[in-house]
């Protein structure tokens, strides 16, 4: 009986840790915990209502996802991508996103095409925060590729640059340009042209990379 109870308790502890990981990850992705923000076990214990052990394990897991990193001063902080990391990530995006665009045109259902076009039309240049629209666009695009490995890899890249995408999108004038880029992509999808869709995606990634480099410099200036 003692052994069975111990096994059950371990499973429960693991579940708590996973819930803390999910909560902190979402707070980071939503911007509630901003890049460069120092993270202390005491504060997070108070915020989550769980033990320091669970918080410590959750932070260790988030470090493995590169969402949390060691702070230059002390302790941990929400990760800030380096210029080199941004360059490496956008090198991959420049190859993978055009491929995703091409596969979407070739494989997506008409319902997915209609949904993507509708979402693209919801981008509002007058709105500084279009995060939900961009996230839904990515989800439909990746699902329509019908390639789960590409979806996993490219989705992981989007997670790594979550803060940069949000900050660069809020840069004056950037969302208006993004709107034009998405409209070009939507038009290519409507024409069912894989080549034009891939080229539109390539142009978008190139412009996004330039904005991301500006964003990472802003993040570094505001970090501890």
At 9 the pLDDT is 47
Mean pLDDT of the chain: 87
H helices of 79-130, in order, are 83-107, 110-120
- Which residues are 70's β-sheet partners? 76
* Residues of the chain scoring pLDDT < 50: 1, 4-10
Locate the DSSP E strands across the chain.
38-39, 68-70, 76-78
At 109 the pLDDT is 97
CA angle, residues 123, 128, 132, in degrees to nearest 5: 50
CB contact at 8 A, 181 and 207? yes
Q: pTM of the full predicted structure?
A: 0.77
At 10 the pLDDT is 44
Give residue-wise pLDDT tens across range 180-195.
999 999 999 999 999 9
Give residue-wise pLDDT tens across range 132-174.
898 899 999 999 999 999 999 999 888 877 767 776 766 677 8
Please give the order of strands across the beta sheet that includes 38-39.
Answer: 38-39, 76-78, 68-70
End-to-end CA distance of the chain: 51
Dig out the tokens for 143 from the structure.
């699902």
Q: What is the CATH number of domain 2-78?
A: 1.10.10.10
Question: Where exactly does CATH 1.20.120.530 map onto the chain?
Answer: 83-222
Q: Assign domain 83-222 to a CATH class.
A: mainly alpha
At 35 the pLDDT is 84
Residue 69, classed as helix, strand or coil, is strand
Question: Where exactly does CATH 1.10.10.10 map onto the chain?
Answer: 2-78
At 3 the pLDDT is 52
Say if residue 6 is exposed, middle or buried (CB neighbours under 10 Å; 0-12, 13-18, 19+).
exposed
DSSP 35: T
CB contact at 8 A, 31 and 163? yes
At 6 the pLDDT is 46
């Amino acid at each position: 009986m003692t052994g069975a109870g111990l096994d059950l308790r371990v499973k429960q502890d693991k579940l708590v840790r996973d819930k803390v990981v999910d909560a902190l990850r979402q707070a980071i992705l939503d911007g509630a915990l901003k890049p460069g923000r120092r993270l202390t076990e005491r504060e997070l214990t108070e915020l989550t209502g769980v033990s320091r052990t669970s918080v410590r394990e959750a932070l260790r897991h988030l470090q493995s996802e590169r969402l949390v990193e060691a702070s230059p001063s002390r302790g941990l902080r929400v990760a800030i991508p380096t210029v080199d990391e941004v360059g490496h990530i956008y090198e991959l995006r420049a190859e993978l996103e055009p491929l995703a665009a091409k596969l979407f045109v070739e494989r997506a259902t008409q319902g997915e095409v209609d949904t993507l076009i509708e979402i693209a039309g919801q981008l509002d240049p007058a709105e500084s925060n279009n995060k939900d629209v961009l996230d839904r666009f990515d989800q439909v695009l990746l699902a329509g590729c019908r390639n789960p490995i590409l979806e996993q890899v490219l989705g992981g890249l989007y997670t790594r640059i979550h803060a940069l995408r949000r900050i660069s999108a809020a840069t004056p004038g950037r969302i208006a340009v993004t709107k034009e880029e998405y409209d070009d992509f939507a038009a290519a999808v409507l024409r069912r042209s894989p080549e034009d869709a891939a080229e539109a995606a390539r142009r978008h990634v190139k412009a996004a990379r330039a904005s991301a480099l500006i964003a990472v410099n802003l993040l570094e200036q505001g970090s501890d």
